[in-house]
Structure 1
Amino acid sequence: MVAELVRGQNHPLSQVRLEIRVSAGRPVVAAATLGDESGRIHGVEWVAHPGAPTLPGLEVSRQAAADHRLAVDLDAMPAAVHRVDVLLALPPGTGGPVSFGSLSAPFVAVTGLDGSEVASYTITGLDAESAVVALELYRRQGAWKVRAVGQGYAGGLAELLTDQGLPQAHQVAAAVDEAVAHGVARSVPAPPSRTADGDRSRQAAASALGADQSGSPYGAQQGGAQPHQGGHSAGGPYGAVQNPQGVPADPDATQPPPTASPGGPIDYSHPRRRNGAPPPPPPAAPPAQPGRPAPPVAGDATGWSMEERLYNQVWGMFEDLARTTAAYRSAVDFADTRMERELDQVLSDPRSRIGGQGDAAREAAQTRRVQLVDQAREALERDLVQLGAEADVVEPALPVSFARWDNPVWHAYRVPMEMPMALRLGDLHLPESDPLRIPMLVRLPLERGLWIDSGRPGSFDGAFIDSHELRRLAMESAVAHVARLLAVHPADEFTVHVVDPAGSGAGELAPLVQSGVLAAPPAQGAAGVAAVLGRLTERVDLVQMAMRGGAADSLPPGFDISQQLLVVNDFPHGFDDRAVTQLRYLADEGPAVGVHLMLVADREDADGYGPLLDPLWRGLLRLTPVAEDHLADPWVGHAWTYEPALVPSGSQVLQQVLAQVANARTKY
């Protein structure tokens, strides 16, 4: 199976003789550097480029070209080499593009010598960069892996090599330019495309009793349960998630992809794709054994990238579970209704109330109900086994932004270079499907604020939780959400402000404060509340005016254009009427201009404001610090149990991730 990597993701290499295939749509220079165990380049003899294309175990192209094949033999690498970085750079002085932002996204693939792809990576998110580290092959404990890097440099190849610690970086960059200038560009045939097996189709759960008996709402609303494709319908349990729309088929696949001229519109499509063409098909599942369903495959849904495929697959699993559970519940309701109707008929006849005739009729009605329910349960169990097997392969393959805190992917965490498409806020499940859990994903940037409900004390999982403990858990849950938001954004693109008027959340906020990832220490007291709200309100006003006037470049010098998150603990403590009005304004207008709200509060504490705050509560996505049934899907209205994404007890993963985020922020 081909691993379609996203930035920062790695994949093991089972072969030692490989090709690195590059497709960029326009001529680029391909080079490679060798690094020791600490990643240091020992000298110019550790750099393969068009002027010196061959090193032990490595050969690169001699010219700039739209397509390249780099040969790699990992067994032939010197023992001191532990890392091979594949570099792409734009050749200067050709009158062509000066940055990757004006090109189609470059595509790199690691293949076997027979052309079979092992892993691939589409380098997106580039703008003014003219050189980029595309892939990294690295040796860890005797085994080789490939990692998608995608680190760009606006200063070109010289800046890239300088960043890698090469003292002669400018001389090597000049040698590359000279070699390319005297070379003749040639084109290497593009790697063979994968066989298109078509989009994966899921068979939505049908009623075990048949459409004429189950009374399923799908029979009335949708004309029966229909299979859905890998690209799933929009929506989520709270109606805030919008999936990417399908792209129509290409009417003229023989036309070459358009190229962007300087100053013109940019075509971000992959050079091997055609404008308007559908995304490549998902990986084919292994053949099924006779009488058994096909084994599930991670990424088995439509999408341009593995991240998008996994996102669509997760929501497909959510829809499947919702529908198969609806079919089961409809079947049970039908069986109960049918038994009651039969019993009513028996009891309506006075003759059947006396003697054994009535008892026999009642027993027969109950037997038929048990048979119908057992039949429905068998169908449900069959679907749950298949969904459980899919969850077992999908969960380990999820990227950091989708993964649970106990997923090993966090141990290889690196601060990303671009924002992901979605974020995991917790897990969802239904009573009939325990212990199956479906990740709850929400699209980024956040379209709604988050409300961590610290009220409603009671018994959870057999233990009574008082109001004080529930508030502590709510703040702990909020910190976990904040840490995840910080972790999945680039270091300079997400800023967090905290308002804790009474200082009651100091203990839970300690990881954020001690790591130094906050914009400032948590604001306390009414004065602190007013100062933070005033700054963020002014920011929203300025950005709105700039957007409406079409003058984004008129913002003040040094203006922080990153996404902003305001975390408020113990609302409405420390808030006067003006502060409450500002908070409502931020909740309503902030998301559109990059200001988001996370409220940790008990709604009953704000009862004194009456209906004034009803729009605020309705506009926020309510989450809980403990498992609770309070989210409904948009299809059949199931009450899903939400479980927050908490850090496992005793784990240091949160502190380790925050330390990396803080370290990356100091570089900006």
Structure 2
Amino acid sequence: MTAELVRGQNHPLSQARLEIRVSAGTPIVAAAALGDEQGRIHGVEWVAHPGAPTLPGLEVSRQAAADHRLAVDLDAMPEAVHRVSVLLALPTGVGGPTSFGAVPAPFVAVTGLDGAEVASYTVAGLESESAVVALELYRRQGAWKVRAIGQGYAGGLADLFNDQGLAQAHQLAGGINDAVAQGVARSIPAPPRPDGDRSRQAAAPAVGPDQSGQAQQGTTSGATAPQPTSPYGNQTPGQPAPPPNSPYGTTDPTQPSAPTSGGPIDYSHPRRQNAAPPPPPPTAPPAQPGQPAQPVAGDATGWSMEERLYNQVWGMFEDLARTTAAYRSAVDFAESRMEKELDQVLSDPRSRIGGQGDAAREAAQAKHSQLVNQARATLDRDLAQLSAESQVVEPALPPAYARWDNPVWHGYRVPMEIPMALRLGELHLPESAELRIPMLVRLPLERGLWIDSGRGGSLEGSFHDSHDLSRLAMETAVAHAARLLAVYPAGEFTVHVIDPAGSGAQALAPLVQTGVLAAPPAVGAAGVADVLARLTQRVDLVQMALRAGAPDSLPPGFDTSQQLLIVNDFPHGFDDRAVNQLRYLADEGPAVGVHLMMVADREEAAGYGPLLDPLWRALLRLTPVADDHLADPWVGHAWTYEPSLVPPGSQVLQQVLTQVAAARAKHW
């Protein structure tokens, strides 16, 4: 039975291996600090945080997120450690809320490996605080307990660490914020999750690597992860809220949910009770007993087939992330366990004599192989189910989500409405290189794009010289721009190009020859200055109109379409004024419909120094060749990204752009 704690209350812990689950309703930073008998932190190496997520017996999330799972092994704690404090903080410098009083009260639960809650605590009553010690696990007379703390700090992590007696409080807080900012910069934007929907998988107890039995199968995708070996859960992405004109309506999200009579209060998703639409009825034949369900395209919640497919792709993405995280954690556990057993054998001189030591080593290695094979079998089962789902989902995708070689493009027509999202490429992990997940980002774009024309340390990039990479980067930019033009209704998306030296003329030919550009590519210093001046002025005008509450006050004939600026060969041909204008467009443009696509090598721009670092962080980095530089928003895997390019010799790009140009001419 779960103990629902109030501030200051404690509860005994009967298990050594635990998970601490955090649900906050908004992205927060989760960290944990180790303390001695007096609760003092001896140094920065006693704090697990996104920049240094693992310590003996402890692992935390690698980035800010609305939900966290922290892994704790109390038996692995050093003897000097008597307290484990769970710390929560709002990230700084990323444009989010600045105090816990403006967000739902965080909910923290201590659970066993089977997911059963041991104790829970809702950190209520916070106002101006931006960091809080939520709870602590502490050792008393050889036994461990959990205590609800709820101590908040208006000065953030720096004040929190200073109060804990850490001399490097400000340096550590700054390092954590930098690590979170870098994680945000490389993370793929996740879809909104107002409801914490769990439609893809049913909650089922999992079996740990040191327990017998088989993990249970998920209800839809089958990609369930063995939770005991992973600090992360099997939660799936939530679904977008109903559209504004939906007949279903919504519940006021600012009001707390009412408790049901006769039972405990449900704090799992505080103040978030918006209803999500039910999934469509499956059309595949029913599965045989004991067999996973047959995959169905669009088998997810949503208000339309497009939304259901979007949610299904994100569900597959998260399933693959979490089941791979569980596999990697299981392998790490098997290796650490084998090392511990071998150390015990070698530490005893008696075991080194005769065959006793050899037998112990063989037993440890056999146990290691058994655990790894069990984890791999679970991973292979999940991969098989996800591969089967991918085979039915990929052919059913609409043009905005589909690869360029998908037959859906042969029947392309200029759309009447803007789609939910856009495909920018494919993602895969080394454990499952054949399983490719579409990389979908919401429209309109929330961030600009940076097509990296440098080698960037990638293996694939090392096989190309700088000229080839520049050419491939421009071809990638053109493919992305063409896709954006293709999925917007006629006249609702405008593309500008800056090519100071004209080096991208060959790659830009499809856009120029079909006439889909607003004007010929700007060349020379005068052309660069003219385009940047017009777009920055546009941003200023729209911002002033919106701030004045008079969007109708824009000049007559003002182009209200979304704008995309492709910048090639940066920083060549750009003076300091132009650089500042680009930074302004990257920061302020997306909110008012002006988007930036940079084609640049960061090393070549190093002459401008750290002044350009905010520019790169504001953009979503993509590469023209395969590179493992993107992170998922759940467990932070380094995913290999491959761009969505037109197959060699295909005429699909020309055909699509010709239709876009014809529709554009009719519109104007």
**Pairwise same-fold verdict (TM > 0.5):** yes
Residues 312 and 471 (structure 1), Cα distance of their counterparts in 2 relative to 1, 3 Å cut = same
CA deviations over 1:71-112 (Å, ceiling 9, x no partner): xxxxxxxxxxxxxxxxxxxxxxxxxxxxxxxxxxxxxxxxxx
Matched with 2:640 is 641
Query: Which amino acid counterpart does residue 534 of structure 1 have in structure 2?
Result: A
Query: For the residues of structure 2 that align with 1:221 and 1:356, how far apart are their CA atoms?
Result: 36
Alpha-carbon shift at residue 217 of structure 1 (Å)? 10
Query: For the residues of structure 1 that align with 2:207 and 2:430, how far apart are their CA atoms?
Result: 19
Among 268, 281, 288, the residue aligned to 2:245? 268
Matched with 2:662 is 663
Matched with 1:547 is 546
Query: For the residues of structure 1 that align with 2:578 and 2:226, how far apart are their CA atoms?
Result: 46
Matched with 1:470 is 469
Query: For the residues of structure 1 that align with 2:563 and 2:370, how far apart are their CA atoms?
Result: 57
After superposing the two structures, state which structure 1 stretch, 279-288 or 359-368, moved more: 279-288
Query: Which amino acid counterpart does residue 404 of structure 2 have in structure 1?
Result: W
Decide which structure has the larger Cα Rg and report it: 1
Are 1:374 and 2:394 an aligned pair? no
Matched with 1:301 is 300
Query: Which amino acid counterpart does residue 396 of structure 1 have in structure 2?
Result: P
Query: For the residues of structure 1 that align with 2:546 and 2:457, how far apart are their CA atoms?
Result: 47
Query: For the residues of structure 2 that align with 1:297 and 1:385, how far apart are their CA atoms?
Result: 15
Alpha-carbon shift at residue 212 of structure 1 (Å)? 7.7
Partners of 1:208 and 1:331 within 8 A in 2: no
Alpha-carbon shift at residue 210 of structure 1 (Å)? 4.8
Alpha-carbon shift at residue 351 of structure 1 (Å)? 2.2
Counting only pairs closer than 5 Å after superposition, residues 231-310 of structure 1 correspond to structure 2 as 232-233=237-238, 244-245=240-241, 268-269=245-246, 278-284=276-282, 285-310=284-309
Alpha-carbon shift at residue 364 of structure 1 (Å)? 1.3
Identity of aligned residues (%): 77
Q: Matched residue of 2:603: which SS?
A: helix
Matched with 1:338 is 337
CA deviations over 1:380-417 (Å, ceiling 9, x no partner): 00000000000001101111100011111000000001
Q: Matched residue of 1:303: which SS?
A: coil
Partners of 1:452 and 1:623 within 8 A in 2: yes
Matched with 2:430 is 431
Query: For the residues of structure 1 that align with 2:207 and 2:372, how far apart are their CA atoms?
Result: 9
Counting only pairs closer than 5 Å after superposition, residues 2-21 of structure 1 correspond to structure 2 as none
Matched with 2:208 is 209
Residues 333 and 206 (structure 1), Cα distance of their counterparts in 2 relative to 1, 3 Å cut = farther
Partners of 1:404 and 1:645 within 8 A in 2: yes
Partners of 2:455 and 2:462 within 8 A in 1: no
Matched with 1:355 is 354
Residues 459 and 593 (structure 1), Cα distance of their counterparts in 2 relative to 1, 3 Å cut = closer
Alignment size in residue pairs: 436
Alpha-carbon shift at residue 481 of structure 1 (Å)? 0.2
Q: Matched residue of 2:296: which SS?
A: coil
Q: Matched residue of 1:568: which SS?
A: strand
Query: Which amino acid counterpart does residue 485 of structure 2 have in structure 1?
Result: L
Query: For the residues of structure 1 that align with 2:385 and 2:299, how far apart are their CA atoms?
Result: 14
Residues 305 and 434 (structure 1), Cα distance of their counterparts in 2 relative to 1, 3 Å cut = same
Partners of 2:423 and 2:440 within 8 A in 1: yes
Alpha-carbon shift at residue 330 of structure 1 (Å)? 0.9
Alpha-carbon shift at residue 541 of structure 1 (Å)? 0.9
Q: TM-score, normalised by structure 2?
A: 0.62
Matched with 1:607 is 606
Q: Matched residue of 2:455: which SS?
A: coil
Query: Which amino acid counterpart does residue 520 of structure 1 have in structure 2?
Result: A
Matched with 1:486 is 485
Residues 450 and 532 (structure 1), Cα distance of their counterparts in 2 relative to 1, 3 Å cut = same
Query: Which amino acid counterpart does residue 665 of structure 2 have in structure 1?
Result: T
Matched with 2:498 is 499
Query: Which amino acid counterpart does residue 406 of structure 1 have in structure 2?
Result: D
CA deviations over 1:190-211 (Å, ceiling 9, x no partner): xxxxxxxx98432589866359
Q: Matched residue of 2:463: which SS?
A: strand
CA deviations over 1:565-616 (Å, ceiling 9, x no partner): 0000011111111111111111111111110000000011111111111110
Alpha-carbon shift at residue 269 of structure 1 (Å)? 2.8
Q: TM-score, normalised by structure 1?
A: 0.62
CA deviations over 1:17-42 (Å, ceiling 9, x no partner): xxxxxxxxxxxxxxxxxxxxxxxxxx
Alpha-carbon shift at residue 431 of structure 1 (Å)? 0.5
**What is the RMSD computed on CA atoms of the aligned residues?**
2.5
Alpha-carbon shift at residue 418 of structure 1 (Å)? 1.1
Query: Which amino acid counterpart does residue 421 of structure 1 have in structure 2?
Result: M
Partners of 1:208 and 1:376 within 8 A in 2: no
Query: For the residues of structure 2 that align with 1:400 and 1:354, how far apart are their CA atoms?
Result: 69
Are 1:590 and 2:567 an aligned pair? no
Counting only pairs closer than 5 Å after superposition, residues 444-455 of structure 1 correspond to structure 2 as 444-455=443-454
